[in-house]
A = this chain, B = another copy of it.
Amino acid sequence: MRLGNLYCDPSIANGIHKITARQRWTPSQMQLQILESIFDQGNGTPSKQKIKEITSELTQHGPISETNVYNWFQNRRARSKRKQQVHFSSNAESEVETETESPKEKKAKLDNINSHENQTSRVEDLCFQSPEVSSDGQSMDQLPNKTKCGLQSNDSSKCLNGFGHISFYENVVSNSNPRVDHLMGHMEDAGSYDPFHTGDGYDM
């Protein structure tokens, strides 16, 4: 009984036609190309920061949100894998090791260095404040045990600056930080992102 997709809210049609019908994003050629390109680099699902960056970039080529980017990667990976499996359908059995094109070590959990919105802020010093500050008030830390926080603010806030050239996305993904805090669930529009999933709060 999945009535799950009632989706559009009925109440908004205040006389006119619903302006809020479910409509879905349609990637432009350029966006697709870029996305594919990033995907092909095989860095797995981009971290939240990267998604923000990617989104920012793609915004120049048409309307898009972080959710779109996130979903795209999810679907891209899933379908890529599925297609491959079908491809081997008549073949064997035990060989499941073949990664798609995004070989990623399965269990490599060193992620979560949330530096949410860092568009213009400095990530430099975030890791050291008093531990008992949760910027949002609560929220526990979600940080990885192993890599711990430390500052690995290698990310992005910087490489983002002068994009506008085709080389940007290479930076975006190549930029270290393998699997990080992805999963942003569904954010909404406008710059802010996600609501769920991110443990929010700064690490620590």
Task: Using CB atoms and an 8 Å cutoff, list the residues of chain A in contact with chain B.
Answer: 1, 3-12, 20-25, 48, 51, 55-57, 59-60, 62-68, 70-71, 96-97, 114, 116-117, 119, 126-145, 148-150, 182-204
Q: What is the count of identical protomers in the complex?
A: 2
Q: Which B residues are CB-close (under 8 A) to A129?
A: 133
Q: Please name all residues of chain B whose beta carbon is closer than 8 Å to the beta carbon of A192 when the two chains form the complex.
A: 9, 11-12, 20, 136, 138-139
Taking a contact as CB atoms under 8 Å apart, the answer to whether B141 and A197 are in contact is no
CA distance A131 to B137 in the complex (A): 10
- Looking at A62, A116, A135, A186, the one whose CB has the most chain B CB atoms below 10 A away is A135
Given A187-B4, A191-B201: A130 and B137 interface contact (C-beta under 8 Å): yes
Q: A97-B1, A194-B20, A195-B20 are in contact. Are A201 and B7 (CB under 8 A)?
A: no
Contact A59 B142 (CB under 8 A): no
- Whole-angstrom CA separation of A138 from B22 in the bound complex: 13
